[in-house]
Structure 1
Amino acid sequence: MLIGEVARRSGVSARMLRHYESLGLVRPTGRTGTGYREYSAEDIRRIFHIESLRSLGLSLSDVGRALDEPGFLPAELVGDLVRRTRERIAAETELLTRLRRIEAAEPAGWEDVLGTVALLQALGSKSAGTRQRAALSSAEEVPVPVEALVEAALSEPDAHVAGALRWALARTGTAGLALLAEGLGAPGAEVRRRAVRTIAEIPDDAATALLRDALAHPDTVVRGYAALALGERGVADAVPALVDMVVSGRNDAEAADALGALASTPAAADRIAAGLVGRLTRGTPEPHARRRLTQALADIPGDTASGALAELSRDDDRAVALTATYALGMRAAR
């Protein structure tokens, strides 16, 4: 079979067939009387073998070794191909992500594109100061795609940079809430906790709804951040979680402050006081928890709290009794 017909049947160009011949990968078995290359069935079979191995990403040099070295073992080479393919996919995925984010920024010209690229690079810098400056400038100089800000906020370990990123996301309104909601379900605890703290910075009803849902989150720290944020927003649904925080001692001072702020009406104050008293009498909490509950009661106005403090002033635990007595004295002095 002549080279032209081989090219048509195999899909390999005549030029590439000549290149294979120059490398010694395949040599036509014979020549016609006029000197044209003539390929045998075995030659054509080898061409198909070459193309099959190339489709796996092997170099022509490796293809030659695979076909001609009797002791050649493919396992190591295939493993290396797997590694290189993964690296290539990761690089291409990163490039695609960057291009999508530039597209989302809707650049008006190449200056905007370059500015967005620079800001994205700064957000990924190893320098915390550079990342912080990028976050603070993101809303003023070149708009950064919300997706990039969310990704940075959920992965940022530095407290100062994280604060700047939460501020930047709060300025975008609700644009990042869907992605942050996904962060609440992340397998990593730190990601979940960064997500709820970022949501807490967004002053919107949709953010409040997410925080309400987070009160039932299996992660106690996530529940705590959500409860504190809802307490600041005056949402009474947070009361049970805040009382739990007082009992557990986890951010108990902040939780007690939030309960005091929520007790803004007589009815609310009585409900909160009843919740605290209920925990005092249920299952005999350990001594430190009883003292924290007593201290929290001291900040709640109303008759229910005062009556509970009067009883606690005669408590067998001297620290509880002294706290309750001091709180009653402060109330009487008002």
Structure 2
Amino acid sequence: MVVVNTTNHGGPVARIVRALAAPGPSDRLRTALAVGTDADPASAEALVARCGVEPDFFVRDMLTWALCRLPAEVTVPLLIDELGSDITQARSQALHTLSKIGDTRAWPAVRTLLHDRHDDVARSAWRAAVAVVPPGAEPDLAADLATELGRGDRDRQLSLSRALVALGDDVLPALDVAAADADPYVRAHAQATQRLHLDPDSGFTVSVELARRVAATGPDA
């Protein structure tokens, strides 16, 4: 986790750290907005560190916005380091921010979290991977993501399907393989994702249920 140097307790970074830790979320939100508006690269460490512990969704979103306002050469290395944190939220929020920045330098580190045991981290990694995958590596990413098909609840499955569909036609070979898998849940999820690829506005739940029935009883049932 990023550790902020606040040796100079009266300096601007120390003041930002204190303001971002204010008791009221509205105060923290205003601070994040002000820091992002100022866009001083010196604030990057404080912003990244706060992302890992901030309890309020809207404040976290503003922290991400503030980080996106800073030069990528400053923020991306800090965010990549944060991916090794023991704190689940720190990893998840760093991935979320990297997905907004879209810098391919993060690809190797992001890929290591595609199968994180914490769903929030894994789902954030899927979205980030789609955003930072280098040109030409999309089929490999699709094959890697496809190994997660059939697992988890509807929200998890929908997140994975959306990530796969975002890869465009590069996902089709991996889905074809998964649609013939021995596991009926993998087949069902793969078929639902194929339908989503063909019609992004289709109802995912209906597609999954239909695919599961087909997987269980055969196409002519």
TM-score, normalised relative to structure 2: 0.71
Runs of 4+ in 1 over 4 A off after TM superposition: 216-221, 232-235
Which of 178, 182, 191 is 1:276 aligned to? 178
* 1:182 alignment partner AA: D
**In the TM superposition, what is the alpha-carbon distance from 1:158 to its structure 2 partner?**
1.0
Alpha-carbon distance change, 120 to 177 in structure 1, aligned in 2, over 3 angstroms: same
1:97 maps to 2:9: no
State how far apart, in whole Å, the 1-side matches of 2:213 and 2:39 are.
Answer: 64
Alignment of 1:188-267 (within 5 A): 188-215=87-114, 221-232=120-131, 236=138, 237-249=140-152, 251-264=156-169
**In the TM superposition, what is the alpha-carbon distance from 1:161 to its structure 2 partner?**
0.6
SS at match of 1:215: coil
**Partners of 2:35 and 2:43 within 8 A in 1:** no
State how far apart, in whole Å, the 2-side matches of 1:321 and 1:253 are.
Answer: 23
Identity %: 23
**Which protein is bigger by CA-based radius of gyration?**
1
User: Where does structure 2 lack aligned partners over 5 or more consecutive residues?
Assistant: 199-210
**In the TM superposition, what is the alpha-carbon distance from 1:252 to its structure 2 partner?**
1.5
**In the TM superposition, what is the alpha-carbon distance from 1:150 to its structure 2 partner?**
0.8
State how far apart, in whole Å, the 2-side matches of 1:120 and 1:233 are.
Answer: 29
- Map of 2:76 onto structure 1: 177
**Partners of 2:83 and 2:90 within 8 A in 1:** yes
**Partners of 2:82 and 2:91 within 8 A in 1:** yes
- Alpha carbon RMSD of aligned pairs, Å? 3.5
* Superposed CA offset, 1:11-66 (max 9, x none): xxxxxxxxxxxxxxxxxxxxxxxxxxxxxxxxxxxxxxxxxxxxxxxxxxxxxxxx
Alignment of 1:1-150 (within 5 A): 97=6, 99=8, 102=11, 113=12, 118-141=15-38, 143=40, 145-150=43-48
Higher relative contact order (CA 8 A, sep 6+): 2
Give the number of aligned pairs.
199
**In the TM superposition, what is the alpha-carbon distance from 1:233 to its structure 2 partner?**
5.4
State how far apart, in whole Å, the 2-side matches of 1:224 and 1:156 are.
Answer: 19
User: Where does structure 1 lack aligned partners over 5 or more consecutive residues?
Assistant: 1-92, 103-112, 302-311, 326-334
